[in-house]
Amino acid sequence: MGKKLIIANWKMNLTVNEASLFVHRLDDLVGKRRGVEIVLAPTMLAVQPLHLQVQHHHFNLAAQNFYWRDHGAYTGEVSASQLRGLVQYGLVGHSERRHVFGERSKDIRSKVQAAVRNGITPVLCIGETASERADGETADAIHDQLIGGLANITSVEVEHIVVAYEPVWAIGTGKFAAPRDVSRAVKLIRKQIKQLFGALAAKHVRVLYGGSVNVDNASAYLQIDGVDGLLIGDTSLDVRAFAEIIKKADVIDKAVARKAA
């Protein structure tokens, strides 16, 4: 079992200066937490300036979005090839991209492929809507989004990606999923990946939970078997709360390491 992966998705919040100040404060609060990989997804404007700063502090960066073509006449877009070397991760298929900006499976799988092609680890976000959940269609929604997102990559490439299970109804709503339901969804994700890409891919793929994670509920998710970390929106904007969650993840990692020894 690897380190817990904790990703802050700041969305369209924090100026470049605020983001830089956040990194300083976070470093003061968490110091070296070797059991946790900390990833920050700032506004695109802050990626370049934060790139040097985070190296001193042992944080990694993620792009919140990017375009799937490497270059060309695509006004306003930033490509994965332009982000290469600046970020280690790239969010793909976040529910806000799917539902506010109308991204379809075709766009999402092209972005997953573009990230892989450019040495960026895609974080494929999937999850059912409230009505799919009410209609008992959670498993189908997960299945369709996995097939839709991963169709262009190989089993070996799937081993190295991250899947974030984020029920749409839980994002930014304060309504978080019951750990028992998350456990079931994460098992389902690995089962479906096993069927599609084989046992090794299912074993190695990292799976996160996201959706209204806060200081009080974080530990419960981190302790679920098969959950490798968290994708955090609102709470990640509060540096003290975010640092608290990182400390909790570090403690859980140490406890697991002790058990395994």
* Residues making up the binding site: 9-11, 172, 212
Task: Check if the beta carbon of residue 7 is closer than 8 Å to that of residue 208.
Answer: yes
Cβ proximity to ligand PGA: between 202 and 243 the closer is 243
Q: Which residues bind ligand PGA (CB under 6 A)?
A: 9, 166, 171-172, 210-213, 231-235
Cβ proximity to ligand PGA: between 128 and 166 the closer is 166
Residues with Cβ < 8 Å from 166, sequence gap 6 or more? 94, 95, 125, 126, 127, 209, 210, 211, 231
- Which residue of this chain has its Cβ atom nearest to ligand PGA in the complex? 233
Residues in the chain: 261
Q: Bridge partners of 60? A: 39
List the one residue out of 212, 167, 158 whose CA is nearest residue 186: 167
> Which two structure tokens, joined as six digits, stand for 139?
């498993």
Residue type, 24: H
List the one residue out of 81, 82, 78 whose CA is nearest residue 65: 78
Q: Helix 44-57 and helix 16-30: axis angle, to 10°?
A: 20
Query: Which residues form the catalytic set?
Result: 94, 166
| Residues placed in the known binding site for substrate | 9-11, 172, 212
Report in angstroms how near the CB of residue 193 gets to ligand PGA at its nearest.
20
Please give the Cα distance from 69 to 75 (Å, whole number): 12
Please give the Cα distance from 36 to 253 (Å, whole number): 8
Cβ proximity to ligand PGA: between 9 and 192 the closer is 9
- Residue 46 parent element (H or E): helix 44-57
Report in angstroms how near the CB of residue 46 gets to ligand PGA at its nearest.
18
Cβ proximity to ligand PGA: between 94 and 109 the closer is 94
